[in-house]
Amino acid sequence: MVQSNADLKASKSPEEQLNQQDPDKDGFVDKAWNFFSSMKLGLFLLLIIAAASIAGTIIPQNGSPQEYGSLYSLYNTLGLVDMYHSWWFQTLLFLLAMNLFICSVNRASSLWRVFSNPRIKRADGEISRMDHSFHADKAISEEGVVQQVKDACRDKGYRVFTEQEPGRTFLYAEKGRFGIWGSLISHIGLLVILIGAVIGIYAGQEGQMPAEVHSTFHIRDVQGLGTVDGDFDVRVDDFKTVYRPDGSIQAWISRLTILDKGQEILTKDIEVNHPLEFRGFKIYQSFYGANIPTKVTSKEIPQGYDFTINEGDFIPVPGTNLGVLAYKYVPDFDPQYGLQSKSDQPNNPRMVYVLYRGKEQIGVGAAELGKAEVLAGGEGQITFQRYAPYTGLTIRRDPGVAIVWLGCAVLLIGLGLSFYMPHRRIWAIVEGNNGKSSLSFGGFAQKNKIAFEQDFTQLRDKL
């Protein structure tokens, strides 16, 4: 028996049919369509995007040139300073979206044909080439064998269809037919996630606000958010650092209150990865610091200068070659504990500093806040007036988050259909001859082939 190309193609699984490219289509449009519908292209793009995302996590984004040092020019040329808005990353996202869309379009019509109008008739040669098949001669009539096949398949949960011709009957049985939609639904889920991510990149907003305790700021005053339609205030009620028993920092906690036209709406303690959410905005605990108003004087310039510094800053003493490094704030200073605080309460707050003459270190001290500290035998004085801690807040609004979560749900549904409802298909031909009959029986499954093999073995034993 000679089979046509159409018959050979029809003997393949749905996925094999969908992935097979027609050699007769060699036009530019067809080649481009086949290229962008390639699964290899999709996997390649996913790997490149994943690698780029890892790089974007390791390399700080949107930092100042000083943060990158000598590598700033290289990073800026390669688009790694603001990677997610770079032309090449957006091109990768566009190509992936095109690949997912074309794959979905390619699969939809063919899957619908397999789903709604399965091919019942198969030739003997097609059945014998399937993953599992057998042939048996039966000493009973054609009708009896057909009924046996129906009963055996239905007992295993298969839907059975029949089509008759003079002298023979074709049977088709399937189980888990909704599973064929798993790959398409997964593609759609990835496409929805991608759309949500792009919306977040272009329409999302993010800004940072350092805010001292007991201060209040308006959402529109946050640098980086740009134009916002929010109309509420945020008050910082408290900020504290929680220490472990060994003195290391365990967590930073900020207590925030949302005010709407002066009315308290919501109060919440936030930590890293535990933000406050309000009207589409998320407020994260992101960083911390302290403002330290400081006055420095010398014999030559007795009126001195006022600075607002942070820990780690270096303050020159005017009119001298002295300089002071504000090394570390210790809330409860005790010489026996060294640079570790005796407790997390400001019982004896001191600023530990290092005194330099030129580049040479000439002294170390622990200055009491609010009192002048004499430097180098009276050449100068420094006063750390107070320690005003602030919490560093990151405020985000991402309209694409809901779409991303929707895409995740769709993706999970698709994966569930693919892995837990694999499409299993069986074909049979029963031919009658003088009260006897012959049975050709075969089938295959694209996924979970071990379970299908068990099904097939049990059906073969029954038949």
Phi, psi (degrees; rounded to nearest 5) at 449: -65, -25
Secondary structure of residue 83 in the 3-state scheme: helix
Q: Looking at 357, 378, 399, which one is the last position of a domain?
A: 399
pTM confidence score: 0.64
Give the model's confidence band at 356: pLDDT under 50 very low, under 70 low, under 90 confident, else very high: very high
In a domain, 141, yes or no: no
What are 258's two structure tokens?
């949302």
Q: Which residues contact 304 (CB under 8 A, 6 or more apart)?
A: 295, 296, 297, 298, 318, 381
Residues 31 and 85 occupy one common structural domain: yes
| pLDDT(18) > 50 | no
Question: By the 8 A CB rule, do 404 and 196 touch?
Answer: yes
Secondary structure of residue 390 in the 3-state scheme: strand
User: Where are the extended beta strands (E) located within 50-97?
Assistant: none
Residues 296 and 278 occupy one common structural domain: no
Q: How many domains does the chain have?
A: 3
pLDDT for the residue 25:
52
Residues 90 and 48 occupy one common structural domain: yes
Model confidence pLDDT, tens digit, residues 194-209: 899 888 888 888 888 9
In a domain, 249, yes or no: yes
In a domain, 306, yes or no: yes
In a domain, 127, yes or no: no
Residues 353 and 274 occupy one common structural domain: no
| pLDDT(337) > 50 | yes
Residues 266 and 316 occupy one common structural domain: no
Average pLDDT over residues 306-322: 92
In a domain, 153, yes or no: no
Question: Residue 274: CA atoms inside 13 Å, Cβ hemisphere, count?
Answer: 10
Question: By the 8 A CB rule, do 443 and 176 touch?
Answer: no
Question: By the 8 A CB rule, do 346 and 318 touch?
Answer: no
Euclidean distance between CA atoms 456 and 133, whole angstroms: 9
Residues 381 and 336 occupy one common structural domain: yes
In a domain, 413, yes or no: no
Angle at 352 between CA 346 and CA 355, to 5 degrees: 160
Average pLDDT over residues 138-148: 89
Model confidence pLDDT, tens digit, residues 264-280: 999 999 988 899 999 88
Question: By the 8 A CB rule, do 287 and 271 touch?
Answer: no
Give the model's confidence band at 343: pLDDT under 50 very low, under 70 low, under 90 confident, else very high: confident
Residues 363 and 260 occupy one common structural domain: no
Q: Which of 66-75, 123-132, 347-356 has the highest mean pLDDT?
A: 347-356
Q: Looking at 81, 98, 117, which one is the last position of a domain?
A: 117
Nearest to 432 by CA among 138, 43, 18: 138
Mean per-residue pLDDT of the chain: 85
pLDDT for the residue 247:
63
Strand partners, 249: 243
Residues 275 and 369 occupy one common structural domain: no
The string of DSSP codes covering 236-286 is EEEEEEEE-TTS-EEEEEEEEEEEETTEEEEEEEEBTTB-EEETTEEEEEE
Euclidean distance between CA atoms 25 and 28, whole angstroms: 9
Residues 95 and 17 occupy one common structural domain: yes
What are 351's two structure tokens?
């600023």
Give the model's confidence band at 4: pLDDT under 50 very low, under 70 low, under 90 confident, else very high: very low
Domain, as residue range, for 334: 290-387
What are 231's two structure tokens?
């109309």
Euclidean distance between CA atoms 225 and 211, whole angstroms: 16
Euclidean distance between CA atoms 412 and 406, whole angstroms: 10
In a domain, 441, yes or no: no
In a domain, 193, yes or no: no
In terms of C-beta distances under 8 Å and separation of at least 24 residues, what long-range contacts does 273-276 make, across chains too?
A: none
Average pLDDT over residues 139-168: 90
**Rg of the Cα atoms in the chain:** 36
Model confidence pLDDT, tens digit, residues 81-97: 888 888 898 899 888 88
Q: Which residues contact 315 (CB under 8 A, 6 or more apart)?
A: 294, 296, 307, 309, 323, 324, 325, 326, 382
Residues 260 and 371 occupy one common structural domain: no
pLDDT for the residue 17:
47
Strand partners, 279: none
| pLDDT(223) > 90 | no
| pLDDT(2) > 60 | no
Q: Looking at 387, 417, 447, which one is the last position of a domain?
A: 387
Residues 338 and 236 occupy one common structural domain: no
Average pLDDT over residues 382-408: 91
Give the model's confidence band at 147: pLDDT under 50 very low, under 70 low, under 90 confident, else very high: very high
Angle at 201 between CA 99 and CA 82, to 5 degrees: 105
pLDDT for the residue 272:
83
Question: By the 8 A CB rule, do 447 and 414 touch?
Answer: no
| pLDDT(378) > 80 | yes
Model confidence pLDDT, tens digit, residues 241-267: 787 777 677 888 999 999 998 899 999
Euclidean distance between CA atoms 135 and 463, whole angstroms: 10
